[in-house]
Amino acid sequence: MSGVSASGAPSAAEGDDGPQAPGAVRRIASGALPVVVALVDGLVVNGLTSGHGTWLALVAAGALLLRRRAPEAAVLAGLPGLYLGHIAFAPLIALYCVAVRRGHALVGVAGAAAVAVAWFLPHPAAGVSWLALDRETALLALDCCGVAAGVVVLGRSVRSRQERLRAATERRAWEYQVLTERVLVTERNRLAREMHDVVAHKVSLISLQAGALQVGRPGDTDVRTTARTIHELSAQTLTELRHLVGVLRTTGDPGAQGAPGAGLADLTDLVRDSGLTVDLDVSIPPVPVPEPVERAAYRTVQEALTNIRKHAPGARTRVRVRCAAGLHVEVHNTAPGRLPARPDLPGGGHGLVGLRERAHLLGGDFHAAPTPDGGFTVKAVFPVGWTGTRQP
């Protein structure tokens, strides 16, 4: 039971020893097997007490540990053993690694030539003088050249296969990305149509009803003022909705983000139309503020005022916007006042979550919490020097 957690799932230790262990064993085996084979070859050919042959076998086998990073050095280290002690496996394995890991074919050809010469020449070097141009010498030369060339051809074929597999994998990844983008574009277009057909229709009806109420009650000033406000807000909502629908139908235009004009300069109109008692204090930053930061600050104030209208009607509200080592936005409201019961308003419950995500995407910070006086405070800090490519 020590390898199972309380939930019944395998523990981390068991998971590490389980799926990862076979892979580690395979890597160790694949790395050590050529070295062992070359070492056994050298010891079998030269014996354990042959002096220099044994040491050359050890050097050639040990050099195979470098076959992945420096295969040429492994070939050079195996040539003395091939010439003096007939140790063939080590230089041939190193030559194969040269053909697999080096893109230029001339490197493999040079290595094959060196291996073939070291294999063909007799030891000691004085025996070169009595090499006869006979059938045995020709067969030996063909044997040496054929084996060395065959190893290079095998390595080049393996390299070519690896490159084809890599290209096929990259192409599949590219095709998957293209397919994903097409699916996203299709879904964005569908959402754009739904927003236009449903939301725009309902907001248009609200605007028409407000206009009719404004005309039908000419003597009631409060009703006319409220109807005019509803009509103006509906028109602004339709404008922003059309822009957002256009953004959904684009495919990554960084300049088509958010609603036009939704920035620090529009906070006065936002507060005036909120229907709340708001103390607004906005300090215009001395440096230009990136558009995503301005839009995020505007949306933060907008969402905070919306929540105050829904959850704290009659509360006094203070909005502060300052620029000091970043753009600081603070919205604080007191405890709700004694007003008539408000009708239930729909809400998704994701407003503050969205504000926090927007602030973090811009590299800023966000905090929202109740205060001891029964009110609520929303604070956000945005870096004015943000130059990233991510858009909220």
- Asked if 147 contacts 114 with a C-beta cutoff of 8 angstroms, the reply is no
Picking from 129, 147, 175, the residue at the C-terminal end of a domain is: 175
Same domain for 171 and 187: no
Picking from 145, 175, 205, the residue at the C-terminal end of a domain is: 175
CA end-to-end span of the chain: 47
The pLDDT of residue 368 is 92
- Asked if 27 contacts 35 with a C-beta cutoff of 8 angstroms, the reply is no
Same domain for 133 and 49: yes
Beta bridge partners of 279: 318
| Phi and psi torsions of 330, nearest 5° | -135, 130
Residue 269's nearest CA partner among 310, 223, 235 is 235
- Asked if 233 contacts 270 with a C-beta cutoff of 8 angstroms, the reply is no
Task: Give the C-alpha separation, 209 to 289, whole Å.
Answer: 39
Same domain for 187 and 171: no
Task: Kindly state whether residue 208 falls inside one of the protein's structural domains.
Answer: yes
Same domain for 171 and 33: yes
Same domain for 321 and 227: no
Please write the tens of the pLDDT for every residue from 234-264: 777 777 777 777 766 665 544 444 445 578 8
- Asked if 56 contacts 87 with a C-beta cutoff of 8 angstroms, the reply is yes
Task: Kindly state whether residue 70 falls inside one of the protein's structural domains.
Answer: yes
The pLDDT of residue 116 is 86
The pLDDT of residue 357 is 86
**Pairing between β-strand 376-382 and β-strand 316-323 as defined by DSSP bridges:** unpaired
Picking from 175, 197, 215, the residue at the C-terminal end of a domain is: 175
Domain limits at 89?
A: 27-175
Task: Kindly state whether residue 315 falls inside one of the protein's structural domains.
Answer: yes
Task: Give the C-alpha separation, 291 to 349, whole Å.
Answer: 26
The residue ranges of the chain whose pLDDT is under 70 are 1-22, 29, 48-51, 53, 85, 122-132, 195-198, 200-202, 204-205, 208, 211-212, 214-219, 247-261, 338-350, 385-392
The two three-digit tokens of residue 294, written as one number: 């301005």
Task: Kindly state whether residue 367 falls inside one of the protein's structural domains.
Answer: yes
Task: Give the C-alpha separation, 171 to 89, whole Å.
Answer: 38
Task: Kindly state whether residue 389 falls inside one of the protein's structural domains.
Answer: no
Cis peptide upstream of residue 124 (ω within 30 degrees of 0) = yes
The pLDDT of residue 332 is 94
The two three-digit tokens of residue 66, written as one number: 């470098």
Task: Kindly state whether residue 207 falls inside one of the protein's structural domains.
Answer: yes
Contacts of 347 (CB under 8 A, 6+ apart): 310
Task: Give the C-alpha separation, 233 to 4, whole Å.
Answer: 59
The pLDDT of residue 124 is 64
Contacts of 241 (CB under 8 A, 6+ apart): 195, 196, 199, 200, 203
- Asked if 72 contacts 110 with a C-beta cutoff of 8 angstroms, the reply is no
Same domain for 31 and 154: yes
Task: Give the C-alpha separation, 373 to 278, whole Å.
Answer: 17
Total count of domains within the chain: 3
Same domain for 298 and 218: no
- Asked if 11 contacts 5 with a C-beta cutoff of 8 angstroms, the reply is yes
- Asked if 236 contacts 206 with a C-beta cutoff of 8 angstroms, the reply is no
Same domain for 298 and 211: no
Sheet holding 316-323, edge to edge: 277-282, 316-323, 327-333, 376-382, 365-370
Same domain for 296 and 159: no
The pLDDT of residue 373 is 86
Task: Give the C-alpha separation, 98 to 72, whole Å.
Answer: 6
Task: Kindly state whether residue 194 falls inside one of the protein's structural domains.
Answer: yes
Task: Kindly state whether residue 390 falls inside one of the protein's structural domains.
Answer: no
**Helical spans, DSSP H, in 267-363:** 267-272, 291-311, 351-361
Same domain for 272 and 231: no
The two three-digit tokens of residue 16, written as one number: 């590490």
Task: Give the C-alpha separation, 59 to 122, whole Å.
Answer: 21
Same domain for 87 and 110: yes
The two three-digit tokens of residue 213, written as one number: 């109420």
- Asked if 364 contacts 383 with a C-beta cutoff of 8 angstroms, the reply is yes
The pLDDT of residue 167 is 93
**What CATH code is carried by the domain that includes residue 370?**
3.30.565.10
Same domain for 137 and 203: no
Query: Containing H/E element for 380?
Result: strand 376-382
